[in-house]
Amino acid sequence: MEYKGIYTILLTPFDNELCIDEVGLRRVIRFNLDCGVNGLVANANASEVGYLSDAERRRVAEISVEGCKGHCPVVVGVSTAHAVLSAGLARHAADIGADAVMAMPPTYHPATQDEIIGYYCRLGDATDLPIVLQNAVGLGMTPMSPDLIGRIMDEVPTVTMMKEETTWPALTMGAVLAADHPRLVGIMGGRGGKTFMEELRHGACGTMPACQYADVHMALWRAVERQDMETAGEIFRRLLPLLDFEMSYGMPLYKTMLKARGLIRHATWRQTGFRDLDRHALAELAALLDAVAPYTHPDHAPVFANVR
């Protein structure tokens, strides 16, 4: 498994009854493959994973692995409130053929350092799959220091990759990489890719954004790969206002984009605390998308007339 590039996080489509839309999920997977993403991530935070049942998480993982077979690696998120639960999901991910699992420290309540190390040790005992250590900040998340990350890598041989999205992600990446852990394959960023260019300067090997702009993120990464940093900077400057705007609307915007692209029938979500986009917000989104139109996949151009 090559841990490098753009690993997009699959959103979880729902129908009008808020049941998982499996047809829509397969279309979203196909869209990401059409865009040429380097990898896919199922059951992460942008997947509304905290609002999925255990059975739903397993089904989403199964569809994701099946849909990507032979095309790109699939990382399955297994974060939960306790190692017993995460270990079960990790074993299932291994059984269905996932390429790696990703986990934050125990969610819901903050955990001590010893509890966090014990959590990853149990996860490492549950499966031989590589583990992506997810370091995040937010509700129910326990950020980890570079020293703690190093201790976990020393204790758990299968922790070989990392996703960094705490308050100062680029600086944390630099500190972890400076420690030169022998088993560390690479660190990707998160937070929608908003600080991706800075992260590259600190040694990032890629980023994990939500998947609604997979084509634009891939255009950015291809420019980075060919060391055309002038073009990369131009694409990033065009993309950044969109990433800023999505922070205001969150999940409703993600789902609206997928519907506008013709990938899902209903822009419905389970995650609480959001408001839908009104006609003015949709107009602003369409205007911001004009800037990245040259990097949009021709078969998946958004059509906002179809959203309402």
CA 226 to chain centre: 24
Assign a CATH topology to domain 5-306.
Answer: TIM Barrel (3.20.20)
DSSP, res 11: P
DSSP state of 40: E
Instruction: Give pLDDT tens digits for 251-301.
Output: 999 999 999 999 999 999 999 999 999 999 999 999 999 999 999 999 998
What is the 3 state secondary structure string of 79-141? CCCCHHHHHHHHHHHHHHCCCEEEECCCCCCCCCHHHHHHHHHHHHHHCCCCEEEEEECCCCC
| β-bridge pairing 5-9 and 206-207 | parallel
Instruction: Extract the runs of DSSP E, i.e. beta strands, from 152-205.
Output: 159-165, 186-189
**pLDDT given at position 308:** 56
Q: Model confidence over 174-229: pLDDT tens digits?
A: 999 999 999 999 999 999 999 999 999 999 999 999 999 999 999 999 999 999 99
Instruction: Quote the mean pLDDT of the chain.
Output: 95
The per-residue DSSP string of 208-259 comes to --BGGGHHHHHHHHHHHHTT-HHHHHHHHHHHHHHHHHHHHH-HHHHHHHHH
Q: Which two tokens stand for residue 274?
A: 């959001």
Upper half-sphere CA count for residue 6 (Cβ side, 13 Å): 27
